[in-house]
Amino acid sequence: MWDFTVFIILVVICYLVYRWVKRNRREEKDYRNHVPETFVVVDVETTGLDPGRHEIIEIGAIKINRGSNEHKSLTALVKPSRKIPKKITKITGITQKMVDNDGEELDSVIIDFLDFFEEYRLVAYNAPFDMAFLERAAAKVDRRIDNPVSDALVMARKAFPGLKSYKLSKVAGVAGLASEDAHRALADCKMTAVVYGAVAAELGRVD
C-alpha cells in the first residue's frame, strides 16, 4: 500500500512538472503574439536629466520584425556643446575623446533616426525621459514625433510587481538576459527589447 501511494505521488509530481514546463515553453513562444509586428526600441544617453539644460551624447535604436531573427539597428555618438561631466563618463563609459573623434552634430543625427523610426511604435525604458530629449531634438529640425510609444518600465512594474529594483539591468536579469555594457545606447536597446517581450507576454498586451 505504501509503495502504491508513493507511486501515485511521484506520478502527480511528474505531471505537475510536465504542465509547468509545457506552460512556460508555450509562454516563451506566445510573447510574439503580444507585440507589434514591427516596432523600434530606442535609447538615449545624455549629459544629465533635464532636456532643457542637458544634451544627448548617444542615440541607439533597433527595428525589430516579429517574424524575423534579423533586425536593423542604428547608433550614433553626438557632439555636445559642452564638456561631458566626469560622472556621466563614469556611468556610460562615453568619454569626451570619443565624441570629439566620432561624434556627429545632433541635427543630422536626429533626422537619420526620425527616418529610421518611420511610423512604427517606439519602445523605451522610462520613455518620458528618452522622448523628452528626442522630441526636443526633433523640434530643432522642424520635425515632430507622432509615433505611438510604449514605456517598458511602466509595463514591467505591472508585470513583475514587488521587485526590489526596476533598474533596466535588474529587470533584464529577471527576463533572462545578462546586463553587459549597460548604459550604452544600443546595449540598453537590446535589454529593453527583451524586457518588452517578457512583460508583454506576462500582461498579454502592450501599453
pLDDT tens column, 140-198 = 999 999 999 999 999 999 999 999 999 998 898 887 776 555 679 999 999 999 999 99
Q: What is the CATH number of the domain that holds 150?
A: 3.30.420.10
Report the number of distinct structural domains present in the chain: 2
C-alpha cell, 30: 506566445
pLDDT digits (tens, 9 = 90+) for 52-88: 999 999 999 999 998 777 899 999 999 999 999 999 9
Asked whether residue 4 carries a pLDDT value surpassing 70, the answer given is: no
Neighbours of 194 (CB within 10 A): 18
Distance CA(150)–CA(206), nearest Å, equals 7
Q: Does the model's pTM come out above 0.85?
A: no
- 110 and 132 share one domain: yes
Q: Can you list the alpha helix ranges (DSSP code H) found in 32-182?
A: 86-92, 96-102, 106-117, 127-140, 152-159, 168-174
| Domain hosting residue 165, numbered range | 36-203
- 48 and 118 share one domain: yes
- 172 and 160 share one domain: yes
pLDDT at residue 35, rounded to an integer: 86
Distance CA(84)–CA(87), nearest Å, equals 8
- 177 and 154 share one domain: yes
Residue 191's closest CA among 183, 202, 179?
Answer: 179
- 160 and 92 share one domain: yes
